[in-house]
A and B are shown apart, each in its own frame.
Chain A
């Protein structure tokens, strides 16, 4: 089955530790995204990548880092510099609308999410 997966589903870390969240897709999508969601709020964009070996900061990139060494993978590292890391983290992917300029092909597909709790 084609899809986008995130692991683990639940993650606990001690304050001051870095932690990496996994995101993998087999949809052959060019673009991948990381969002953060806090209780009762909408999603906020952390980082996005339109192509391998390239990525851009979203609205709340401070305290986070990413890499895009493979088309299928876009891991997110939550560093100790992130002041309030406890949240629900969602990864998404899509075809790259900046290449196609066609909104009909850039629906974003979301993974199931990782719930990070800092103890």
Chain B
């Protein structure tokens, strides 16, 4: 499974867009990029996933570079409740195992 690299922490002002980067330079052709988040002392929550096209849902947008070596999760209008650890995970399409790194702690400031 490919490894991911994320900054340990980021700040964002409430109401502004939060852009969370992730590097996955060793990703292979059948591996998907998944994003989960974990609010303190709760279970992780699925946000979005993609293979090579950009994706958008009610929670966020996922922008994947053309070479697929990096991606950005965008929360368009961050709120205080978006404060959490965000995990970028590269997952093989042939297995359902998730390998979590240490993620990015996003702190949304009032």
Residues of A within 8 A of B (CB): 31, 35, 40-45, 48, 50, 58, 88, 90, 92, 94, 96-98, 101-103, 106-113, 115
Contact = CB atoms under 8 A, between A and B. Distances in A.
Given A40-B102, A111-B43, A103 B93 contact: yes
Interface residues of B, number: 22
B103 A42 contact: yes
Contacts of A50: 96
A103 B42 contact: no
A43 B42 CA distance: 12
Closest 6 CB pairs of A and B: A110-B43, A42-B100, A43-B100, A97-B96, A106-B96, A107-B46
A58 to B, nearest CB: 8
Contacts of A103: 32, 49, 51, 91, 93
B44 A43 contact: yes
A112 B46 contact: no
A41 to B, nearest CB: 6
Contacts, number: 59
Nearest to A48: B97
13 contacts: A31-B96, A41-B102, A42-B87, A42-B101, A42-B103, A43-B98, A98-B94, A101-B94, A103-B49, A108-B46, A109-B46, A110-B45, A112-B43
A106 B46 CA distance: 11
Nearest to A113: B43
B106 to A, nearest CB: 15
Contacts of B93: 97, 101-103
Contacts of A111: 43
Contact of B43 (A58, A90, A94, A101): A90
